[in-house]
Amino acid sequence: MNNIDPAIFKAYDIRGKYPSQINAEVVYAIARAYAEFIKPKNVVVGTDMRLCGEEFKQALIKALTDAGADVIDVGLVSTDQFYFAAYHLGAGGGIMATASHNPKEYGGLKLVREKAMPISGDSGIYKIRDLVLSSKYQVSGTGQGKVKKTNILDAYYEHVLSKFDVSKFKDLKVVANTNFGMATPAVEELKKRVPSINFLEVINGRLDGSFPKGRPDPLRPETREETSQTIKKLKPDLGVAWDGDADRCFFFDEKGEFVTPAYINALLSEYYLQKFPGGKILRDTRVYRVIDDAINRGGGISVPAVAGHSFIKERMIKEDAVFGTETSGHYYFKENFYLDNGLLPFLAVLDILSSADKTFSELLAPLREKFFISEEINFKFENQNILEDIKKHYLQAEIGELDGLDVKFDDWRASFRKSNTENYLRVNLEANSKELLEIKIKEVTSLISGLSS
């Protein structure tokens, strides 16, 4: 098919506006090319609550069975549950219909090969794109693949909960925001299976792919306000929020203050080093001073990694890492087949709070008082040499170039990364004081403004 927009093929997945960029016909063509590229005997197929999800799932099933592959239909699932199904069922691959935390107008696909290993741009998405867009590519013939519906939810919850002694969980009060997404049924399941978790309120606790309150992304400040206000009103022990497909998890303290993911990454690094002494922990290069401090105190080994779930998972396996973190709210676990999961961090934080004689904010205070971290700042740019120009400006800095540009001084540092999909420069800063952080944000903003065009 030559009429497919190549822009939908991203570095980590396939995403576009529905139905102008991605629709059932496009999904069918992509799935046929996927089958030709991977040549799987069987493929797990699932969907989240996106309005186009069921339509896409049926197109996937038809394409894969026409290609001669058997399909294991796991139905309506979170991305975590899809990954678990692909691994647990020993499938040769998997395709999930999801556009994660994108607005309601979007549809998309996440692709994995055997053992639920993600297919990224470099490991297959771009080859599948080239196959689909090739003028010589012809989809022909119908195979005899079979379809089997399988419910993996009991096995999934047993797997996740087996990692904790939930009988020791305190009766903790929780405000949750499931953002009309796939964490909604997960929370309902936790109510039944772990009654000590006292959910005072589940905000936006129904499945609704129209996302009536906007984009289901708790990392965006405008999405956090409802959770924060509800916490101030109900006074729980903590708050938690998930994105649309429930693979990213975010926290609020008992005062309603959003917890910067790096602080959670630090707490969980210490937690998993207690379970796996001396282990390796992966972290990206966006924000890491507080994480490295926790890893060093916990006797672990910090392993810097390129951001992006496909890159992190591959590196987790290569390093045999016990835990992995991303600034974006993704968490990766050795005891979850090295895959990411949005429920495990929530349960781990409950475990930490259950054994602590402090409130959540008291637990976080030493980190918040020592490590000052900016929100991610996005700058539009046209100058394709902008990273090189920034590097020249900071000649006195220690420079890292594993993933974009890492500019390091003794009392502050900044990460500069080009977006994989748009002309945006994504910037994260850390400093030893709030005052210095504010000064450096202004300095970097002024610098980039002068270099952008």
* Residue 100 bears catalytic tag: yes
Judgement on whether residues 134 and 268 belong to the same structural domain of the protein: no
Cβ atoms < 10 Å from Cβ of 271: 18
Dump pLDDT digits (tens) for 369-414. 999 999 999 999 999 999 999 999 999 999 999 999 999 999 999 9
Number of structural domains the chain divides into = 4
Q: What is the pLDDT of residues 108-160, one digit of tens each?
A: 999 999 999 999 999 999 999 999 999 777 776 678 999 999 999 999 999 99
Cα separation, 30 vs 182, in Å, equals: 25
Mean pLDDT of 167-196: 98
Give me the chain's average pLDDT, please. Answer: 97
Q: What is the Cα–Cα distance from 202 to 200, expressed in whole angstroms? A: 7
Residues 163/137, Cβ–Cβ less than 8 Å:
no
The DSSP 8-state label assigned to residue 14 in this structure reads E
Residue 227 lies in domain: 172-258
Per-residue pLDDT for 422 more than 80?
A: no
Q: What is the pLDDT of residue 2?
A: 67
Average pLDDT for 218-241: 98
Cα–Cα distance, 239 to 200 (Å, whole number): 10
Please list, in sequence order, all residues whose beta carbon lies within 8 angstroms of the beta carbon of residue 233, skipping any fewer than 6 positions away.
none
70: in domain = yes
Query: Could you tell me if 125 and 12 lie in one domain?
Result: yes
| Predicted pLDDT of residue 1 | 65
Q: Could you read off the pLDDT of 69-121 as tens digits, one per residue?
A: 999 999 999 999 999 999 999 999 999 999 999 999 999 999 999 999 999 99
**Any idea what the Cα angle at residue 219 is, between residues 224 and 356, rounded to 5°?**
80
In a domain, 1, yes or no: no
Q: Say what the pLDDT of residue 423 is.
A: 85
Residues 148 and 178 in one domain: no
Residue of 233, 221, 259, 248 whose CA lies nearest to 359: 259
360 and 284 co-located in one domain? yes
**CATH code at position 264:** 3.40.120.10
Q: Are residues 238 and 340 in the same domain?
A: no
Catalytic residue among 78, 100, 228, 415: 100
Note the pLDDT of residue 141: 65
